[in-house]
């Protein structure tokens, strides 16, 4: 098994970067043109179906993009396999946990808001 991918990781890094850019632009546009920056309008936006989905997609892209980036840093600077593999595994677990946490957050508020 090839543990570290070449082209696929490179492409994924760029695809997630594009997704993040588009979502950030969308977020900035909403912030600038939206009616107000109050709790009420933010809550309504985040708990709407498309808002909640976009937030989850944003964090998914963020975690994947961060994973590839940090993987590259580890491959560059940390060479001892006894340190490298546990470190990579730990980072992967933390990133996955953050993503799950975001999904749970959105699920809780989505259910509450709907």
Q: Can you give the binding site for another protein, defined by CB under 8 A? A: 4-7, 9-11, 14, 17-18, 21, 24, 39-40, 42-43, 46-47, 55, 59, 62-63, 66, 69-70, 72-73, 75-77, 94-95, 98, 101-102, 105, 109
How far apart are CB 90 and another protein at their closest, in Å? Answer: 13
Q: Which is closer to another protein, CB of 21 or CB of 86? A: 21
How far apart are CB 2 and another protein at their closest, in Å? Answer: 8
What would the two tokens of residue 30 be? 């909403």
Q: What is the DSSP string of 35-53?
A: S--SHHHHHHHHHSHHHHH
Find all residues with CB under 8 Å of 84, minimum gap 6, and list them. Answer: 74, 75, 78
Q: Which residue has the tokens 């109050």?
A: 38
């Amino acid at each position: 098994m090839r543990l570290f991918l070449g082209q696929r990781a490179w492409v994924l890094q760029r695809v997630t970067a594009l997704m993040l850019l588009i979502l950030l632009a969308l977020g900035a546009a909403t912030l600038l043109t939206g009616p107000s920056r109050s709790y009420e309008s933010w809550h309504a936006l985040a708990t709407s179906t498309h808002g909640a989905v976009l937030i989850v997609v944003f964090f998914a892209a963020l975690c994947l993009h961060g994973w590839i980036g940090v993987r590259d840093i580890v491959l560059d600077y940390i060479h001892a396999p006894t340190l490298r593999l546990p470190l990579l595994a730990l980072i992967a677990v933390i990133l996955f946990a953050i993503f799950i946490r975001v999904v749970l957050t959105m699920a809780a508020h989505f259910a509450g808001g709907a």
